[in-house]
Structure 1
Amino acid sequence: MNVIRARGNFDRAIRNTAIRLADRTTTSQLLTALRDSIGVRSTPIGTTAADRLMDLLVHGQDIAVPLGMTREMPVDAARSALERVWTTDTFRSREKFAGYHLVATDTGWDAGAGRAVEGPVASLLLLVSGRRAGREHLTGEGAERMFA
């Protein structure tokens, strides 16, 4: 129903649903619901463990970065999440980064062809998931061109 209400736009449906919930719920109620969900181990239909890992890593940075907090990503976990983002169409990463060769300098991951964009796997994960955070750690001819 929420996706229909948002005219098929999944991102808009999530945003609008969150706004409606926040409008009818107090801060105390929201915090209680969040705390109550900590132990929940159900999986949304159509998602994988790699999807949940990516959500945890990327959205953790979405919270930490604006607060000025450092939140390290384990390299192996970030690599798994990056592989998931790259190989699924969720973020259209292969399309957006056509012409670039992404290379993780702290693990053996690489993908694409073209101008090199090199850096820590965590920074590449943030890049391909559409975040600005971490760009300062990316180098190479592709990074120079991409961020010019």
Structure 2
Amino acid sequence: MRHDDILIWTKAERLSLAAFLEDLDDHEWDAASLCDGWTIRDVAAHLTLSTRTTLFVAIRGAIRARGDFNRMVADLARERAARFQPHELIAQLRETAGSARRAPGASPLDPLVDALVHGQDMARPLGRTREMPAEAAVAALDHVVAGKFYGGRELLRTTRLIATDADWSAGEGPREVRGPAADLLLLATGRPAAREDLRSTR
């Protein structure tokens, strides 16, 4: 997979997210997302940090969170959400949509996974639909199930995932789960809400 392709997909998704956020009503920004304890505004703020988290910011955040990575990420997102207005967050997302910069330790595919998954985290609780480009979704799935960070490896030990809208499958477990690549990506990244839209067989 070419690095340029990943950047193109990531830029397109970020610009699409900016347009999506621009269409939200004021009250929707404070609605709950699929991320436990996060509002839509928190998720949007987190997305702007993908190209803005320096090593210094990460180290300082880790110290404040006492080494708890999830707490650090949540704290940074909420601080930024409180600091900037929605229109400013949208502008920031657009400003660095095509940037190749990424947080320390992140791979080139992590920002794409972040944009794809968090787009669903925001849209689904609001009853809105966000289409997920097939090629980008498959690339994100391959990355998630191969890595240690997202928990996809553990899932594949007991489950075989089969996309119904793309030529993709993974896993050797006795249980089969079938569904759109977007739903499989949410499942592989630990979103329980995705299970409602998937078909499971043994």
Counterparts of 1:115-134 in structure 2, within 5 Å, are 115-134=175-194
Q: What is the CA distance between 1:65 and its match in structure 2?
A: 0.7
| Cα distance in 2 between the residues matched to 1:62 and 1:119 | 18
**Residue identity opposite 2:185 in structure 1:** L
| Cα distance in 2 between the residues matched to 1:50 and 1:141 | 30
Q: Contact (CA 8 Å) 2:151, 2:190: kept in 1 or not?
A: no
Q: Contact (CA 8 Å) 2:163, 2:180: kept in 1 or not?
A: yes
Answer yes or no: is 1:57 the counterpart of 2:113. no
Q: What is the CA distance between 1:7 and its match in structure 2?
A: 1.3
| Cα distance in 2 between the residues matched to 1:105 and 1:26 | 40
Q: 1:33 to 1:117 in 2, by over 3 A?
A: closer
TM-score, with normalisation over the residues of structure 1?
0.82
Q: What is the CA distance between 1:34 and its match in structure 2?
A: 4.0
| Cα distance in 1 between the residues matched to 2:154 and 2:100 | 32
C-alpha RMSD of the superposition: 2.0
**Tell me, which stretches of 5 or more residues in structure 2 are unaligned?**
1-59
Answer yes or no: is 1:15 the counterpart of 2:74. yes
Q: What is the CA distance between 1:104 and its match in structure 2?
A: 1.1
Correspondent of 1:35 among 72, 77, 91: 91
| Cα distance in 2 between the residues matched to 1:4 and 1:60 | 29
> Deviation above 4 Å: which 4+ runs of structure 1?
none
Please state whether the residue corresponding to 1:38 is helix, strand or coil.
helix
Q: Which moved more, 1:82-91 or 1:98-107?
A: 98-107
Correspondent of 1:84 among 124, 143, 147: 143
Q: What is the CA distance between 1:97 and its match in structure 2?
A: 4.2
**Residue identity opposite 2:169 in structure 1:** D
Q: Contact (CA 8 Å) 2:65, 2:71: kept in 1 or not?
A: yes
Q: Which has the larger radius of gyration?
A: 1
| Cα distance in 2 between the residues matched to 1:85 and 1:60 | 16
Flag the structure with higher helix content. Answer: 2
**Tell me, which stretches of 5 or more residues in structure 1 are unaligned?**
143-148
Q: What is the CA distance between 1:72 and its match in structure 2?
A: 0.8
Q: Contact (CA 8 Å) 1:123, 1:133: kept in 2 or not?
A: no
